[in-house]
A and B are shown apart, each in its own frame.
Chain A
Amino acid sequence: MDFNDTPEEAKFREAARAWLAANAPKHEAYSQEDFLKAAKAWQLEKYNAGWACLRWPVEYGGRGASAAEAAIFAEEEAKYSLPTGPFTIGQGMAAPTLMAYATDEQKKRYLPKLASGEEIWCQLFSEPAGGSDLAALRTRSVRDGDDWVINGQKIWTSGAHYSDFGILVTRSDPNVPKHKGLTYFFLSMKSPGVDVKPIKQISGQSGFNEVYFTDVRIPDAQRLGEVGQGWTVSLTTLMNERAAIGGGGGLGFDTAYALAKELEIDGKPAIADRAVREQLADWYCKESGLQFTRARTQSALSRGETPGPENSIGKYVGAKKTQDIASFCMELIGMAGVCMDKDLAALGGLLPQSYLGAPGGRIAGGTDEIMLNIIAERVLGLPQDIRVDKGIPFNEVPTGN
Chain B
Amino acid sequence: MNFEFSEEQNMLRDQAVSFLKDKSPLSVARKILEGNEPYDKALWKDITDLGWTATTIPEKYNGLGLSHLELCVLAEELGRALTPVPFSSSLYLATEAILAFGTDAQKEAWLGKLAQGQVIGTAAVAEGPGEFSPTKVGASVKANRLSGTKIMVPDGDIADFAVVVAGGDAGLSLFLVDLNQPGVTRTSVATIDPSRSHANLAFKDAEAEPLGKAGEGASLLSQLFDRAAVLFAFEQVGGAEAAMNQAREYALGRYAFGRPIAGFQAIKHKLARMYVAIQLARSNCYYGAWALSSGAPELPVAAATARVSASQAYRECAEENIQVHGGMGFTWEFDCHLFYRRAKLLAVNLGGESTWKNRLISSIESDRAA
Interface residues in chain A, defined as those with a beta carbon under 8 Å from any beta carbon in chain B: 1-5, 9, 68, 257, 271, 274, 277-278, 280-282, 284-286, 288-293, 295-296, 298-300, 302-303, 310, 313, 316-317, 369, 371-373, 375-377, 379-380, 382-386
Known: A292-B286, A380-B271, A382-B263. A284 touches B360 (CB 8 A): yes
Nearest-CB residue, chain A, relative to B293:
A1
Nearest-CB residue, chain A, relative to B259:
A386
Contacts of A277 in B (CB 8 A): 357-358, 361
Whole-angstrom CA separation of A188 from B193 in the bound complex: 67
CB distance from B368 to the nearest CB of A (A): 8
Q: Can you show 17 pairs from A to B with CB atoms below 8 A apart?
A: A281-B304, A281-B361, A282-B308, A282-B357, A284-B361, A288-B283, A290-B283, A291-B283, A300-B4, A313-B280, A316-B276, A375-B272, A379-B275, A380-B248, A382-B271, A383-B252, A385-B265
Nearest-CB residue, chain B, relative to A290:
B280
CB distance from A269 to the nearest CB of B (A): 10
B284 lies within 8 A of chain A by Cβ? yes
Whole-angstrom CA separation of A202 from B135 in the bound complex: 52
Query: Is the Cβ of A288 less than 8 Å from the Cβ of B287?
Result: yes
Whole-angstrom CA separation of A286 from B368 in the bound complex: 19
Extra 16 A-B pairs, beta carbons < 8 Å, given A280-B361, A296-B3: A1-B2, A9-B1, A68-B1, A281-B358, A282-B308, A284-B361, A284-B364, A285-B305, A285-B308, A296-B4, A298-B3, A302-B1, A372-B268, A372-B269, A382-B262, A383-B259
- 9 A-B pairs with least C-beta separation: A289-B280, A281-B357, A376-B268, A292-B283, A383-B263, A375-B272, A372-B272, A295-B3, A293-B283
Nearest-CB residue, chain A, relative to B308:
A285
Query: Is the Cβ of A278 less than 8 Å from the Cβ of B279?
Result: no
Known: A289-B305, A296-B286, A386-B259. A317 touches B280 (CB 8 A): yes
B222 lies within 8 A of chain A by Cβ? no
CB distance from B353 to the nearest CB of A (A): 8
Known: A4-B2, A9-B1. A288 touches B361 (CB 8 A): no
Contacts of B269 in A (CB 8 A): 369, 372-373, 376
Query: Is the Cβ of A3 less than 8 Å from the Cβ of B272?
Result: no
Contacts of A372 in B (CB 8 A): 268-269, 272-273
Chain A, interface SS category:
helix
Known: A1-B290, A372-B272. A298 touches B1 (CB 8 A): yes
Query: Is the Cβ of A288 less than 8 Å from the Cβ of B3?
Result: no
Residue of B262, B308, B360 touching A383 (CB-CB under 8 A):
B262
Contacts of A373 in B (CB 8 A): 265, 268-269, 272
Query: Is the Cβ of A292 less than 8 Å from the Cβ of B248?
Result: no
B89 lies within 8 A of chain A by Cβ? no
Whole-angstrom CA separation of A369 from B273 in the bound complex: 11
Q: Interface range on chain B: under 10, 10 to 19, 20 to 34, or 35 or more? A: 35 or more
Q: Find residues 285-301 in chain B having any chain A CB closer than 8 Å to their own CB.
A: 286-287, 289-290, 293-294
Contacts of B200 in A (CB 8 A): none
Contacts of A68 in B (CB 8 A): 1
Query: Is the Cβ of B268 less than 8 Å from the Cβ of A377?
Result: yes
Contacts of B354 in A (CB 8 A): 274, 278
A281, A286, A386 pick with most chain B CB within 10 angstroms: A281
Known: A293-B280, A293-B283, A295-B283. A281 touches B3 (CB 8 A): no
Whole-angstrom CA separation of A301 from B259 in the bound complex: 38
Known: A1-B286, A285-B284. A310 touches B2 (CB 8 A): no
Residue of A9, A282, A385 touching B263 (CB-CB under 8 A):
A385
B158 lies within 8 A of chain A by Cβ? no
Contacts of A9 in B (CB 8 A): 1
Q: Find residues 184-217 in chain B having any chain A CB closer than 8 Å to their own CB.
A: none
Query: Is the Cβ of A382 less than 8 Å from the Cβ of B358?
Result: no
B61 lies within 8 A of chain A by Cβ? no
Whole-angstrom CA separation of A371 from B265 in the bound complex: 12
Contacts of B283 in A (CB 8 A): 288-293, 295-296
Contacts of B280 in A (CB 8 A): 285-286, 289-290, 293, 313, 317
Nearest-CB residue, chain A, relative to B304:
A281
Chain B, interface SS category:
helix
Nearest-CB residue, chain A, relative to B358:
A277
Whole-angstrom CA separation of A386 from B354 in the bound complex: 42
Whole-angstrom CA separation of A4 from B281 in the bound complex: 22
Whole-angstrom CA separation of A310 from B1 in the bound complex: 19
Query: Is the Cβ of A1 less than 8 Å from the Cβ of B3?
Result: yes
Q: Mark B302-319, 1 if CB is under 8 A from A, else 0.
A: 001100110010000000
Whole-angstrom CA separation of A383 from B253 in the bound complex: 11
Whole-angstrom CA separation of A118 from B112 in the bound complex: 70
CB distance from A161 to the nearest CB of B (A): 35
Nearest-CB residue, chain B, relative to A68:
B1
Query: Is the Cβ of B305 less than 8 Å from the Cβ of A257?
Result: no
Query: Is the Cβ of A289 less than 8 Å from the Cβ of B279?
Result: yes
Query: Is the Cβ of A284 less than 8 Å from the Cβ of B305?
Result: yes
B128 lies within 8 A of chain A by Cβ? no
CB distance from A36 to the nearest CB of B (A): 34
Contacts of A274 in B (CB 8 A): 354, 358
CB distance from A227 to the nearest CB of B (A): 33
Contacts of B271 in A (CB 8 A): 376, 380, 382
Contacts of B251 in A (CB 8 A): 382
Query: Is the Cβ of B309 less than 8 Å from the Cβ of A3?
Result: no
Query: Is the Cβ of A310 less than 8 Å from the Cβ of B358?
Result: no
CB distance from B240 to the nearest CB of A (A): 13
Whole-angstrom CA separation of A385 from B286 in the bound complex: 34
Nearest-CB residue, chain A, relative to B72:
A1
Query: Is the Cβ of A299 less than 8 Å from the Cβ of B358?
Result: no
Nearest-CB residue, chain B, relative to A316:
B276
Query: Is the Cβ of A3 less than 8 Å from the Cβ of B1?
Result: yes
Whole-angstrom CA separation of A293 from B309 in the bound complex: 13
Whole-angstrom CA separation of A380 from B262 in the bound complex: 10
Q: Find residues 234-262 in chain B having any chain A CB closer than 8 Å to their own CB.
A: 248, 251-252, 259-260, 262
Known: A2-B290, A278-B357, A372-B268. A383 touches B1 (CB 8 A): no
Contacts of B267 in A (CB 8 A): 382
Whole-angstrom CA separation of A180 from B271 in the bound complex: 31
Whole-angstrom CA separation of A369 from B262 in the bound complex: 16
B44 lies within 8 A of chain A by Cβ? no
Residue of A278, A285, A379 touching B358 (CB-CB under 8 A):
A278
CB distance from B254 to the nearest CB of A (A): 12
Whole-angstrom CA separation of A200 from B289 in the bound complex: 48
Query: Is the Cβ of A1 less than 8 Å from the Cβ of B268?
Result: no
Whole-angstrom CA separation of A278 from B358 in the bound complex: 6
Nearest-CB residue, chain A, relative to B353:
A278
Contacts of A382 in B (CB 8 A): 248, 251-252, 262-263, 267-268, 271
Known: A274-B354, A372-B268. A1 touches B5 (CB 8 A): yes
Nearest-CB residue, chain B, relative to A292:
B283
Q: Find residues 155-172 in chain B having any chain A CB closer than 8 Å to their own CB.
A: none
Whole-angstrom CA separation of A190 from B357 in the bound complex: 55
